[in-house]
């Protein structure tokens, strides 16, 4: 197993974005977003903001996906919390920017709506290359 790569610039970008959201600074938050992702980002952050205002955040997960990373950020406020999944990509100048953002309303996760495999799929799993 390879040691986990440390990406301090990414962690700072995630924190800067989250602090801007908590502060209600839409301009600073949107400054972290690629122009091509801005419209979809606004839809997601507006939905998340309906639970706000927020007074804090946590970053419960970060995963590498090829050259990009996906972070989970939970914004926390007196009225509740909002979970977002944010995909980060490094720009040509080395900055990390949001390439995609999703909001998961309470009771929904990235796996909501994904059905379990059929039993036949389970029984044939792991048999590739076996002679019968």
Number of Cβ within 10 Å of residue 107's Cβ equals 6
DSSP assignment of 2-38, as one string? PPPPP-HHHHHHHHHHHHHHHHT-HHHHHTTB-GGGH
Is there a domain that residue 55 lies in? yes
Q: Domain for residue 80, yes or no?
A: yes
Placement of tokens 């929904």 in the chain: 108
What CATH number should be reported for the domain holding residue 59?
3.10.450.50
pLDDT value for 1: 42
- 3-50 pLDDT, tens digit per residue, is 456 689 999 999 999 999 999 999 999 999 999 999 999 999 999 999
pTM listed for this prediction: 0.77
Q: What is the pLDDT of residue 4?
A: 54
Query: Out of 1-10, 25-34, 81-90, 91-100, which region has the weakest mean confidence (pLDDT)?
Result: 1-10
> What's the rounded mean pLDDT across residues 117-132?
51
- When divided into structural domains, the chain yields a total of 1
Tell me, yes or no, whether 127 lies in a domain.
no
**Residue-range definition of the domain harbouring residue 75:** 8-108
Whether residue 18 lies inside any domain: the answer is: yes
Neighbouring CB atoms inside 10 A of 41's CB total 22
Decide if 129 is inside a domain: no
Which secondary structure element, helix H or strand E, spans residue 104, and what is its range?
strand 96-104
pLDDT at 116: 58
Residue 60 lies in a domain: yes
**What percentage of residues in the chain have a pLDDT greater than 90?**
69
What's the whole-number mean pLDDT along residues 101-124? 64
Evaluate whether residue 131 is within a structural domain.
Answer: no
The span from the CA of 66 to the CA of 11, in Å, is 17
Q: Is residue 114 part of a domain?
A: no
């Amino acid at each position: 197993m390879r040691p986990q790569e440390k990406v301090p610039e990414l962690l700072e970008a995630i924190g800067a974005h989250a602090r801007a959201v908590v502060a209600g600074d839409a301009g600073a938050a949107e400054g972290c977003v690629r122009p091509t992702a801005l419209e979809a980002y606004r839809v997601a952050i507006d939905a998340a903001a309906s639970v706000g205002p927020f007074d804090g955040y946590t970053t419960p997960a970060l995963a590498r996906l090829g050259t990009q990373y996906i972070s989970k950020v939970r914004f926390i406020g007196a009225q509740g919390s909002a979970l977002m999944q944010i995909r980060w990509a490094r720009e040509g100048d080395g900055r990390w920017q949001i390439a995609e953002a999703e909001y998961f309303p309470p009771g929904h996760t990235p796996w909501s709506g994904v059905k379990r495999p059929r039993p036949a799929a389970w029984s044939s799993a792991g048999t590739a290359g076996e002679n019968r």
